[in-house]
Structure 1
């Protein structure tokens, strides 16, 4: 009799486990479908100044140098989903390969062109919230928060320790130290006034670095060099775009200086992508 009771209890427990696993699998599938269908936060947020079809036509200049990333070939993204109660935690990453083109003016040889192979991994995280019922579309899941995105070259040595962003009047004031664990409400992003001046300071792990700000004006990517303050610190002034738009993305782009000035030095890059919006007062 005791054996029968034990087997019955075990069967009930196993049934609950199976049902629970099936529910979790359905939630994982629903969130993954939302991530794969997204064209704003995940897939669209991580590329740099290139497209899959053609290289960018705009080139940043600094110290007699022109450079740009060519079209990249992305691998399939890796998506990890962890549903916990009414929250769904997402980690998205993707590796891409391509090339970076460099035209540099060297004192001894004049203008030279280098085409270096590029390999980098982009990562971003999000938090979904169940706001509806399991019977609803996508089982009631909606994206609630998004992190900064990060990019890093294969075997890269450069890291961004922190980024300080401050509007001319002191508001808003943002510090980013752990970008993948710095989350923003997708409906309440950091907002800057149209055309206001913003001071950006980037702290890196090496004094042998160059830094750029990448933004979009109209449909064109614009890359602006930061001033090297020494000791791995870079600073610049960003003039916020004129038109309201939700969301926009600013990319803080740091490379080892030898990437641009040494033919034999590999592509060595670290970047952070910051989501924001613009308001007209």
Structure 2
């Protein structure tokens, strides 16, 4: 009985400081913000990655259009961190600034270049968990889950992606809430090299145009695929996953047709950025 009492007393002495210790939320928040600021892979989103891509030309009647987004600048990202015990939710956003360029060959006129001011807001969410020690430089925090990112034009925004469907012979995925759909960073949704993938966008844009952009952040090689319009705001496109295994983003890009076809129409855009990985099957 005495032994039990001694063990119980030792347990109280050991557990009491831990249970009474107040969490340093400010230090945890600062550590997580530093990790986010240092991460240029998961927290670096823009739409400038189609600037060297093909697939940006099409015809409308007798008019030929070729369009691309130029290089972009960014303001300082807004990072909000909500810490609850050993878990934390991060909300990240920033603005992209640049120009949309359109070369238009109108009937019986010289080639025209239209430059449209581009301002976008990009958002994404992430979840961190403490897996190390508070004494560590990063206070033990690790990035565990990341959401899709969303992008919208700031000046005018009338187009909207409502849902996304990804299909192949090996897998299928439907997403309706991009900022509430999370993927583990160590086991992202993945495709095999060269896998044929069909993407369907359900939108409100009956007068829109949709494109798929895929890229790798550390290698300036981009792919742009126009979607086919199926009617009633539904767009569908097919592409083959890249051959090189890597972490990647795909941008599902929705704009109004007038953004490209009319010189005075404003830049009107909504996009979802989908994180995925290309890897060989186990």
TM-score range, shorter chain: 0.7 to 0.9
Residues 121-168 of structure 1 show CA distances to partners (whole Å, capped at 9, x for unaligned) of 01111000000121123100000000001100013111100110001x
In the alignment, is the contact (CA less than 8 A) between 1:172 and 1:191 conserved in 2? no
Q: Distance in 1 between matches of 2:244 and 2:107?
A: 42
The equivalent residue for 2:52 is 57
Which consecutive unaligned segments of at least 5 residues does structure 1 have?
A: 1-18
8 Å CA contact retained: 1:70, 1:100: yes
Offset from partner CA, 1:145-200 (integer Å, 9 cap, x none) = 00001100013111100110001x1x321111110111000001111111011111
Residue aligning to 2:177: 178
Structure 2 equivalent of residue 222 of structure 1 = 223
Matched, 1:255 2:255: yes
**2:6 maps to which residue?**
none
**What secondary structure is seen at the aligned counterpart in 1 of 2:198?**
strand
Tell me, yes or no, if the aligned pair for 1:172 and 1:190 is still in contact at 8 Å.
no
CA distance in 2, matches of 1:56, 1:234: 22
Name the structure 2 match of 1:159.
160
TM-score (norm 2): 0.85
Q: Which runs of 5+ in 2 are unaligned?
A: 1-20
RMSD of aligned residue pairs (Cα, Å): 1.7
Aligned residues: 253
Contact 1:227/1:234 (<8 A) preserved: yes
Structure 1 position 199 matched with structure 2 position 198 = yes
With the length of structure 1 as denominator, give the TM-score of the two structures: 0.86
2:48–2:72: 8 Å Cα contact kept in structure 1? no
Name the structure 2 match of 1:10.
none
Contact kept, 8 Å, 1:49 with 1:221, in 2: the verdict is no
Tell me the distance in 2 between the aligned counterparts of 1:261 and 1:186. 39
- For each residue in 1:102-129, what CA deviation from the matched residue of structure 2 results, as whole angstroms up to 9, or x when unmatched? 0123335353210001111011110000
SS in 2 for 1:33: helix
Runs of 4+ in structure 1 over 4 Å off: none
